[in-house]
Amino acid sequence: MRPRLLVVELWALGDLLLTTPFLRAAAKKFDVTLLAQPVAVQLQPRFWPEVAVVPSVLPWTAFRPREKYNPTQWRWRELAALVRRLRAPHFDMAVSTRWDPRDHFLIWLTGAKRRVGFPRLGSGLFLNERLALPGPNAHRYENWRAAGQHLGLDLPPRNDLFSTAPRSNVILVHTGAAQPTRIWPLDRFQYLVQRLRQEGYSAQIICNADQREWWEKQGETVHIPSSITELVAEIEGAGVFVGNDSGPGHIAASLGLPTFTLFGNQSPAFFSPLHRDAEWIEGAPCPYKPCYDFCHFARPECLLAIDAPAAWNKLKLFIEKHIAKTAPPGHNQAATIVK
């Protein structure tokens, strides 16, 4: 019987996709269980079919500070039931690559024999195999790579990940994001789409549900995926991906698509998608970067500092590397319909 490994990644879609190389490598050596948000259930068949998923939303991952930092608001009965469920398999080891004492306390409660993580604020008390963080400027993936090395897994360098030839000439432009502070203005996305079509490229748009009306007023028929499974299928049929710093870009990279990301309150040095051909444009400096749950200002000024012509200048060079034109330059393509 292979050793049983519990992997803890409790945060959102993008963070979860960054675990993909680790999970795939670990599944070759261990019986892997992933504790993650419910979205992992939809990702599992496509990205880590050999990994068992325990879906759960832990209170300290909420995007509501009042609940996040107030244990009196936590659902303790649900937490106790989760701990009982995690203790039942008698895990041989558990790993979390966040330097979060709450994660470390949780894996201590599971009773795992080997508890691996990056200690912080005394949380080494709950870990019996303590790792050193890769460095203050290291990409988030490097934490998983360090944990993998500790467990005897050979994870490739970030620049060697997920490189494939584009499968189509379609440029998929995703204008949504889960957090409003990460959404670049729609009129600027429209500028990019228009320029792409004027240059003879095929561009399709998918968006958040609350963005549909705006796009339809511009004469576009857009697609709103009804599930993560549908979103994965939509992305998989494209050649490259253009979008905000959000989960769909990480899905695209994990599917092998080159990505172009508009970064605002996060740093690409820490969170760029895992693809060797990933590129981006970064917003204005800010003393509070990187931000996670909310912006310190009324508007995300760092992201709004990226104007459409500047983004187009970088995007055009990126597209020319990967996509063939489908119409002569200057051809006025009709609004793209995505059914």
**Residue 223 in 3-state DSSP?**
strand
Is residue 134 domain-shared with residue 33, that is, in the same domain?
A: yes
**Residue 163 included in any domain:** no
CB 276, CB 159: distance < 8 Å: yes
Number of domains in the chain: 2
Whether 330 maps to a domain, the answer reads: no
Give the integer Cα–Cα distance in Å for 263 and 211: 20
pTM of the model: 0.91
Residue 66 has a pLDDT of 53
pLDDT, tens only, 96-146: 999 899 999 999 999 999 999 999 999 999 999 999 999 888 999 999 999
Specify the pLDDT at position 336: 38
What residue type is 52 in one-letter code?
A
CATH number at residue 247: 3.40.50.2000
Residue-wise pLDDT for 11-63, tens only, equals: 889 999 999 999 999 999 999 999 999 999 999 999 999 999 999 988 877 65
Task: Determine the Cα–Cα distance for residues 255 and 251; give it in Å rounded to an integer.
Answer: 6
**Mind listing the pLDDT tens digit for each residue in 259-272?**
999 999 899 999 99
Tell whether 135 and 196 lie within a shared domain: no
Residue that has been written with the tokens 């200002």 in this structure: 297
Neighbours of 192 (CB within 10 A): 24
Report yes or no: 283 and 263 within 8 Å, Cβ to Cβ: yes
Query: Tokens in use for 284?
Result: 């204005």
Distance CA 196, CA 92 (A): 52
Cα–Cα nearest to 106, from 135, 72, 69, 80: 80
What letters, b where the CB count within 10 A reaches 16 and e where it falls short, cover 54-85?
bebebbbbeeeeeebeeeeeeeeeebeebeee
Q: Facing residues of 130 across strands?
A: 117
User: Which of 294, 38, 102, 87 has its CA nearest to residue 117?
Assistant: 102
Separation of alpha carbons 162 and 93, rounded Å: 28
Whether residue 151 sits in one domain with residue 27: yes
Looking at the chain, the whole-number percentage of residues with pLDDT higher than 90 is 76
**Local structure of residue 32 (DSSP, 8 states):** E
**Residue 81 belongs to domain spanning:** 4-155
Q: Are residues 11 and 107 in the same domain?
A: yes
What pLDDT is stored for residue 327 in this prediction? Answer: 73
Q: Are residues 205 and 145 part of one domain?
A: no
Which one of 155, 182, 215 terminates a domain? 155
**Domain shared by 8 and 134, yes or no:** yes
| Residue labelled with tokens 């670990």 | 26
Give the span between the Cα atoms of 245 and 280, in whole angstroms.
9
Residue 190 lies in a domain: yes
Burial code (b: 16+ CB inside 10 Å, e: under 16) for 32-46 equals bbbbbbebbebbbee
| pLDDT tens for each residue of 217-252 | 999 989 999 999 999 999 999 999 999 999 999 999
Q: Between 74 and 225, whose confidence is greater?
A: 225
Contacts of 68 (CB under 8 A, 6+ apart): 59, 60, 61, 62, 293
Whether residue 161 is contained in a domain is answered as no
